[in-house]
Structure 1
Amino acid sequence: MAVLWLVLLAGLPVFFLGVLLWAVLEHFRTAQVPRGLQHAAKVRCLHCVFLYAMAVGNILEKLRICSMPRFVHFLHDRLSIKNNREVVVTDLRFGTIPVRLFRPKAASSSPRRGILFYHGGASIFGSLDSYHNVCSFLARETDSVLLSVGYRKAPEHHYPVAITDCLNASIYFLKTLEAYGVDPSRVVACGDSIGGMIVAIITQTLVGRTDLPQLRAQVLVYPVIQAINLQLPSFQQNQNVPFLSLQLMMTCVCSYLAIDLSWKDAILKGACIPRDFWNKYRKWLSSDNLPKRFRTKGQQPETLAPFNEAAYLETKHILDVENAPLIAEDKIIAQLPEAFLVSCELDMLRDDSLLYKKRLEDQGVRVTWYHVEDGFHGCLVLFDKKFFSFPCSLNIMNAVVSYVKGL
């Protein structure tokens, strides 16, 4: 028995080295690092670490030791939290929903600004811990009371759980602002990636609610706004850019919406979209709405595959407005608060931001747009990771801070 344990222990370094080698080879086989991306070597290194963590997590999941997302959370969270003496942090629960409250330590003579924050991570990754430093920085630099919502995620929980958790936590916070020293006229909703989508959904859902304070503004950082038209130029141009590839995105979308991965190709090709639906909403979903400089001559035209009714029945909730806030009716969009939109040139979701920008502006909503030429998806959370930080990460953080302070 002792010999067996020795053999296993001796084999572990070989196993982990083998997985690392696979991750490096997989990166160079599949990843595309664009010329416009600064610090390419650093990006390659970090992406290899990301692939390595996911590979080990998948192996542990197959061995029924722990799920892949839980393992990635464990690694990420160990690197995340930094104590900030200028911010008081309190873990709370609104019912069953874990939330984290960030309040500047310094006394204030008047109620502070409030920020509702919904983290990214494709509803699989991301947590209160992994976004702790982002929230602490925002609370301190904007002198705001920030509430970060720890919504439930896939694979254990699927749509609409994350939205319901965020909506319920937001309503509770808005009803009790006085208890937290928050000015009801200065509450901002903020989020990145799927958190940006949640911002859009929450602001749309709260339109017309006279029993709650009106949100002052919405901040959406490289949000996912729809998963209907996946043939937009940014999807074609950036589908293999680290850290959000088309393959990973489809895995996350299917996991979040509880759709079997076998329908992935039907979603990508538009076979699940009824023609009357496309004819109605094409005016908002098409790349024709993008500025010319974001459309390239070499891009493939948007063509829908022949309609597949079985695919539609299995995936039709992709067409719900709660999963595609871009297609909300004009009367809803026109009542939304002003917006701050961040898009990254090297992000597959870049065009979602641009489509939503036009959608808002067409209905008279004031939009401040911040475009990052060297930005990539997920860079926000790296703003303070020292060697693994990037100029674009801090630039986005500073831009969000500057916007919020100006409200």
Structure 2
Amino acid sequence: MSILLLVPLLGISIFLLGLLVWTIFKHLLTTDVPSALKHPVKFRILDCLFIYGITLGSILEKLNICSMPTFARFVHDRLFRKTNDPKVVVTDLHYGTIPVRLFQPKATSSNSFGGIVFYHGGGGIIGSLDYHHNVCVFLARETDSVVLSVGYRKLPYYHFPVITTDCLNATIHFLKRLKSYGVDPSRVVVCGESIGGGLVAQITQALVGRTDLPKIQAQILIYPVVQCINFQLPSTHQNHNIPFLTWDFLIMCICKYMSIDLSWKDAILKGAFIPPETWKKYRKWLSPDNIPKSFKKKYKEPQFPGCFNETAYLEAKHLLDVHHTPLLADDETIAQLPKAFFVSCENDILRDDTLLYKKRLECQGILVSWYHVEDGFHGCITLFDKQIFSFPCSQKILNAVVSYIKGL
């Protein structure tokens, strides 16, 4: 009997080992490691772990054992443990069906606390309240602010526009109850990274004109996703194989969340789903012409958009929805937004998204601050306290965010 049990165990072990070997080869053959990056070996190990987890999750999903997003979050949340700080009280709550986590500084303050609404990244696949726990503890402690982290519902069960509506509803709920949390209504900022940065743009736009709520003092966008239309920008060409947001993973996240079949990947990348009249209208905001020359290293602008494909348009037209692509908002809305702090990373496929939205706000007279990290990469802030897996850029970004908030 014991021998019979050993057979499947041996088979599983061989399979997992084979997958590990495949992961290492895939990493070595496809991954670009930036020369400016500190600790490249550490970076390679993390990428192998990332590829391994996503691939194993995809296999389990095809076997109908477990969805890839669920497995990826399970591994993510256990790979790096959350830590508690005696100076910060942490409370798990639900705003209706939306799980949130409240971080309140213990120290008494002569004035009211500041308030931060935080939207985590992860593309709707990875990222969670637990994985971003330590970032929120740091922000609460260092800025003397009450931090609300929104645990919006994600894939595989929830699709567009659930993430946005969850974050908007949680933010409104928090804004209506600031005094009960000891928060000064004039000192509330919204902050997010990656898809969370895009949510910052969406939420601040959605709240424009709301006279029944306290006004947002500032918005902080850390390498945000603000458009899913032009994937032929300089940064997408230069950084499309740099972890932890490659071209393939970015498109997979977008297609899964927007319920678009992955067979339309090439049409989306080439812009073939964009009607000519739509591109004519929005080109002024989405063109590489808006990117400074210093960021166009070895960049040869391709023909964009590609030949229009009406079938692709019917499949992916909701990518053009202004509620999903805040870069397309009208000038009147943009002109009423709060001041902004942008963080961009040189080795990030989304670097130019930040530059495009930054210019969009500047053109409408919004006060903008910008912090660019030469050795930074996508997703790096969550590694700031991960000991052997931390990077200098991670701490630099968080320090810059804290400095900006304290200077408001």
TM-score range, shorter chain: over 0.9
TM-superposed CA distance for 1:302, in Å, is 4.1
Corresponding residue for residue 156 of structure 1: 157
| Residue number in structure 1 paired with 2:235 | 234
Q: Deviations over 1:327-347 (max 9, x none)?
A: 110011011000000000000
1:8 aligns with 8
- Cα distance between partner residues in 2 of 1:351 and 1:337: 21
In the alignment, the residues of structure 2 paired with residue 95 and residue 30 of structure 1 have an alpha-carbon distance, to the nearest angstrom, of 44
1:186 alignment counterpart: 187
TM-score (norm 1): 0.98
Superposed displacement of residue 383, structure 1? 0.6
Q: CA deviation at 1:73?
A: 1.3
* C-alpha displacement of 1:143: 0.5
CA distance in 2, matches of 1:218, 1:210: 18
Alpha-carbon distance, 1:67 to partner? 1.6
Q: Kindly indicate whether the alpha-carbon contact (under 8 Å) linking 1:224 and 1:349 is maintained by their aligned counterparts in 2.
A: yes
Alignment of 1:330-341 (within 5 A): 330-341=331-342
1:205 partner letter: A
AA aligned to 1:222 is Y
Shift of 1:235: 0.4
**Partners of 2:320 and 2:60 in 1: how far apart?**
35
Aligned to 2:121: 120
1:29 shift after superposition: 1.4
Query: How many residues end up aligned between the 2 structures?
Result: 407
Q: Could you tell me which residue of structure 2 aligns to residue 396 of structure 1?
A: 397
Task: Please say if residues 250 and 264 of structure 1, whose CA atoms lie closer than 8 Å, have aligned partners that are also in contact.
Answer: yes
Write the distance in 1 (CA, Å) between the matches of 2:111 and 2:35.
48
Cα distance in structure 2, aligned partners of 1:384 and 1:96:
31
Q: 1: distance between equivalents of 2:99 and 2:41?
A: 38
Structure 2 length normalisation: TM-score?
Answer: 0.98
- Mapped to 2, the partners of 1:80 and 1:73 lie a distance apart of 13
Correspondence list, 1:264-283, <5 A: 264-283=265-284
- The CA distance in 2 between the partners of 1:83 and 1:329, in whole Å, is 43
Once the two structures are superposed, residues 144-180 of structure 1 have per-residue CA deviations (whole angstroms, 9 ceiling, x without a partner) of 0000000011221111000000000000000011111
- 1:218, 1:337 within 8 Å by CA — same for their partners in 2? yes
1:58-91: per-residue Cα shift (whole Å, max 9, x none)?
Answer: 2222232222222221222122311111100000
Question: Following TM superposition, by how much is the alpha carbon of 1:296 offset from its aligned partner in structure 2, in angstroms?
Answer: 3.0
**Paired amino acid for 1:83:** N
State how far apart, in whole Å, the 2-side matches of 1:296 and 1:44 are: 24
Cα offset for 1:32? 1.0
1:173 aligns with 2:182: no
Are residue 24 (structure 1) and residue 24 (structure 2) matched? yes
Give the residue type in structure 1 aligned to 2:29.
R
CA contact (8 A) 1:119 1:194 kept: yes
| Equivalent in the alignment of 1:260 | 261
Partner SS state of residue 189, structure 1: strand
Gaps of 5+ in 1: none
| C-alpha contact (below 8 Å) 2:221/2:342 kept by paired residues | yes
Alignment-mate amino acid for residue 403 of structure 2: S
Partner residue, 1:312: 313
What amino acid sits opposite 2:181 in the alignment? Y
SS at match of 1:231: coil
Name the SS for the 2:376 alignment partner: coil
Alignment of 1:11-90 (within 5 A): 11-78=11-78, 79-90=80-91
Does residue 1:387 correspond to 2:388, yes or no? yes
Find the counterpart in structure 1 of residue 197 from structure 2: 196
Give, in angstroms, the shift of residue 35 of structure 1.
Answer: 1.4
Over aligned residues, Cα RMSD in angstroms? 1.1
Contact 1:236 1:299 in 2 (8 A): no
- Distance in 1, matches of 2:298 and 2:85, equals 49
Note the C-alpha offset of 1:38. Answer: 1.9
CA contact (8 A) 2:76 2:126 kept: no
Amino acid at match of 2:394: S
> What SS is found at the alignment partner of 1:197?
helix
Distance 1:341 1:283 in 2: 21
Aligned to 2:102: 101
Q: Per-residue deviation at 1:54?
A: 1.4
The verdict on how the C-alpha distance between 1:218 and 1:298 changes in structure 2, with shifts beyond 3 A counting, is closer
AA partner of residue 12 (structure 1)? I
Deviation track 1:117-149 (CA, whole Å, cap 9, x = no partner) reads 000000111000000000011000000000000
Deviations 1:16-74 (A, max 9, x none): 21111111011011111121222111111110111111122222222322222222212
The residue type paired with residue 40 of structure 2 is A
Question: 2: CA distance between counterparts of 1:250 and 1:143?
Answer: 38
8 Å CA contact 1:114, 1:183 repeated in 2: yes
Runs of 4 or more above 3 Å deviation = none
Q: 2: distance between equivalents of 1:145 and 1:302? A: 48
Q: Which residue of 1 aligns with 2:206?
A: 205
Tell whether the 8 Å contact from 1:80 to 1:132 is kept in structure 2 after alignment: no
> 2:73–2:125: 8 Å Cα contact kept in structure 1?
no
Q: Report if aligned partners of 2:380, 2:391 keep a CA contact under 8 Å in 1.
A: yes
Contact map agreement 1:232 1:302 (CA 8 A) in 2: no
Report how far residue 395 of structure 1 moved: 0.4
Q: Deviations over 1:248-301 (max 9, x none)?
A: 100000011111111111111111101111111100000101111112344233
Percentage of identical aligned residues: 64
CA–CA distance in 2 between the matches of 1:260 and 1:165?
A: 24
Quote the Cα distance in structure 2 between the aligned partners of 1:232 and 1:35.
21
Q: Distance in 2 between matches of 1:262 and 1:222?
A: 27
Mapping for residues 240-389 of structure 1, pairs under 5 Å? 240-389=241-390
